[in-house]
Amino acid sequence: MSNMKSVLITGASTGIGRASALRLDSEGFQVFAGVRKPGDGDGLKKASTGGLIPVMLDVTDAKSIAAVVKTVSEETNGELFGLMNNAGLTGGGPVEMVPISKIRSIIEVNLISIFAVTQAFLPMLRKSKGRIINTGSIFGLIALPGRSIYAATKFALEAISESLRLELRPFGITVSVLEPGAIATEIWRKGSTSTDEIIEQSQPGIYELYEPLLQFYKKKFAEQKYLAPEAVADCVFHAFTARKPKRHYVVGNDAKFMLWIKRLPESIRDWFVYKTIYK
């Protein structure tokens, strides 16, 4: 049994989760990296110091979560220092265009899984007086047109985190939220593919109604400067090691700018966003 502090990261196959897993591993943490495919786990293991443990984890499946609870408990003597709820989906679009089945799948992964995974690991976190990090988004602070579904889950994540901070405080467990802007991860490509599918499946004439909005995002995403996921991993390391971790980590200049927009009077903010999109 090792004396290293152990952490579990969901959605560790790519992007923020992968960068965070490798950073923590390099800093001496015992990392359990949740992945969906064996190949992703092998790649992580190979890139690590050798101590990282990939675990097959589907955050929407109760049996999968229970199996990982068993593995982590056996490896750590029932103590988990850190949980990073990072698994998530992007996507969405104008409400009128998005199938309800798609909305349900995004909510299942981005929201319901937070409750399921956190609930499952709380006994171990309580034993170690551990820490929780939830991967949110700047869209959890400001909701833009055409992003209501994704933003709804990230706004809800802020509420969960705010509530849990005080709910778990008597047990010595801290809760932090990451609020990054545009990060160079697979989630953007997957989101673009999802939007293209929604457009293809939309009813005749509906696309034309929202074409200016959709074209704005297409151009914006193509020109966007993306921050490396390692910048977020730095915040994850701070949240798991600092004597007083921050409640919120806003990551990236674009996120900080959006936070400034958020603080404007609502009427001015609406005017600014509308004119930016429909200029």
Q: How far is CA 162 from the centre of its chain?
A: 16
DSSP run (H or E) holding 74: helix 62-76
Secondary structure letter of residue 108 according to DSSP: I
In this structure, what token pair is assigned to residue 276? 């930016």
Secondary structure letter of residue 92 according to DSSP: -
Residues tagged active-site: 150
Distance CA 179, CA 211 (A): 29
Half-sphere exposure of 191 (CA within 13 A, CB side): 22
Strand 82-85 to strand 248-251: parallel, antiparallel, or no bridges (unpaired)? unpaired
Distance CA 32, CA 19 (A): 13
